Amino acid sequence: MGSAKTSAGCAPGRGQSEDASRRAGRRLRAALGAAAAVAALAMCLGVGRGTGWGAAEIPPPTPAQAEASPPGPFRVEATAAYLLDATTGQELQAQDAGRPLDPASLVKMMTLRLVYRDLAQGRATLEDRVPVSVKAWRTGGSRMFIDPRQKVRLEDLILGVAVSSGNDACVALAEYLAGSEEAFVAEMNREAERLGLSGTRFCNSHGISEPGQQMTARDAAVLGARLVTDYPESLAALSAREFTYNGITQPNRNRLLFIDPTVDGIKTGHTEAAGYNLVATARRDSMRLVAVVMGAPSEAVREEAAARLLDYGFRNFTTQVLARPGEALGRVAVYKGRRNWVEVTPARLLAVTLPRGQEGAARWTLKLRGALVAPVAAGQEVGELLALVDQQVVARAPAAAASAVARGNWLKVAWDSIRLFFRGALGRGTLAASGGG
């Protein structure tokens, strides 16, 4: 009897089947091992975690609300006007705002700024007894009525400038803090340059009209905003309704202080050459605005114009704070360190101004400069935080490490050197994480 023969396409024998199964198993185990190695390498390099550079715990973007547009620009009865969000620096309304004009007593905002700066730096105290020179006593215009035979408390001189608009008080402060009014004015101009007030030039400390002394409405708004935000303690004097010195009581010439309880500064000004000027600030809820009116025909008109600007701003806009200093934005990878990550925080407030109806439309984006390698110092700038509205950058703030990370041991340094090599080979870019407000 003949045996049956196995032809092509028929089932193989038992031994052949077992050999094929073993070969398939080896191939499967090799494939699984390779996949595990790739996954491990990806974990080491941070691939697939966060949104790049190993970021984690980053909140998702806040979706934009329905769009709304505020009313268009309008004019007030003045030569120039300006409206500014003091928190964000956003321009909300402008009328010939870049035109250099006679500032009159708006000059005193810079005088007060330098006084508060010296107080903050410990170069003077509110209890200092300030001598009064004959020059200060003889200074004309609005006065506090100081006497050269009597020293004056520095705090009283501040109130004499802020409330009584005393030109004599300005000269006394300038001479006390800088040695002479001329030296003080030179510092006023240097400070204006530091603040970017390109349309401003000071010739004296008080604002009596002089050829060449000038300020734009935009510069006046920035100076006023920086005075009350950098030195919020100044608001106590700027909002005082009256001041009594040497038996003489004088009211604050900013009559908005008596009309609107949200108004708490800043300064009026008037000369025949300048007309009627006013820098007014108000805070409603979490929003602070600064309105400037220059060259109005009367006190009543400048106050009505400033009130109109403020009401327009509060009615049509809102301030959205995206990130505050000290607030943790998320973790980013640190290489060659004792820790593998560090929290990132904004170095200063990041906020934007939005039309009402678009609350929540802004989001932030964090971009690192490159791989963060230990040692890392607390507060070290590691990148930039961008505020975006409709994909347009509208504000920026430095991003800083929230804490220090020391350098790791030799093994950690060697291992992370390998990780950085592979990261470079893979063409990894900088972090582009984002979050809502």
Residue type present at position 384:
E
Domains and CATH numbers, the chain: 50-65+322-436 (2.60.410.10), 80-296 (3.40.710.10)
Please answer whether residues 273 and 102 qualify as being in contact, where contact means their C-beta atoms are separated by less than 8 angstroms: yes
pLDDT at 72: 78
pLDDT at 160: 98
pLDDT at 68: 56
Q: What is the DSSP letter of 104?
A: G
pLDDT at 302: 98
10 Å CB burial of residue 48 (0-12, 13-18, 19+) is exposed
pLDDT at 433: 52
Query: Which residues are tagged catalytic?
Result: 105, 108, 165
Please answer whether residues 356 and 316 qualify as being in contact, where contact means their C-beta atoms are separated by less than 8 angstroms: yes
Give the Cα separation of 59 and 130 in Å (integer): 54
Determine the longest span between alpha carbons in the chain, in angstroms. Answer: 144
Using one digit for the tens of pLDDT, what is the confidence trace for 119-157? Answer: 999 999 999 999 999 999 999 999 999 999 999 999 999
Please answer whether residues 251 and 220 qualify as being in contact, where contact means their C-beta atoms are separated by less than 8 angstroms: no
Residue type present at position 117:
R
Give the Cα separation of 68 and 71 in Å (integer): 10
Write out residues in the chain with pLDDT < 70, as ranges: 1-69, 424-437
Give Cα 263 to chain centroid, integer Å: 22
